[in-house]
Amino acid sequence: MTTARPRIPVSQWTDPRHVRGLFGERAAARWLRARGWELVAHRFRVGRHDLDLVVRRGGLVAFVEVKTRSGAEFGAPVEAIGWRKRLVLVHLAEVWRERHGRPGETYWFYVASVLWRAGRAPVIEVVEDAWRLG
């Protein structure tokens, strides 16, 4: 039997990629809330995987994968989500839907791209309906 790793408080994170990712998730959540979305979950975990954001507006629920970058040299954020990652996200979304879904809701996957350069406001772009369940 394996034991769970203890959670490290955000204030003690040392990997700049993790800090940048959390910043991007929070920025994307603010951006979505400003456009009428309700933040339902942040980092919904199942095992060692998580959904970055789950947001709802009316009968539409969006599972949002956030990709935070400091530059564009590694390509578009949507391109960083390969078929394996999509399978994991679909599985997580199905678990979330079974636990928290409501009758009549529609489910979409979004990708939020956060370009963050030190000293500047983040630039956020969201790809709606990036792919579908099933």
Is pLDDT at 87 greater than 90 in this prediction? Answer: yes
Domain boundaries in the chain?
15-131
Q: Find the helix or strand (DSSP H, E) in which 35 lies.
A: none
Chain segment 12-33, per-residue pLDDT in tens = 777 777 888 899 999 999 999 9
Angle at 72 between CA 62 and CA 61, to 5 degrees: 0
The pLDDT value recorded for residue 79 is: 78
One-letter amino acid of 126: V
Is pLDDT at 65 greater than 60 in this prediction? Answer: yes
Length of the chain as a residue count? 134
Full-model pTM: 0.87
Is pLDDT at 1 greater than 60 in this prediction? Answer: no
Dihedral sign for Cα atoms in the order 3, 8, 62, 58: positive
Distance (Å, whole) CA 39 – CA 32: 8
Q: Find the helix or strand (DSSP H, E) in which 25 lies.
A: helix 16-34
Chain segment 38-47, per-residue pLDDT in tens = 999 999 999 9
Question: Domain 15-131 - what CATH class?
Answer: alpha beta
Lowest-pLDDT range, 27-31, 35-39, 73-77?
73-77
Residue among 41, 51, 27 at smallest CA distance from 124 = 27
Per the CB < 8 A criterion, the answer to whether 5 and 47 are in contact is: no
Residue 131's pLDDT band (cuts 50, 70, 90): confident
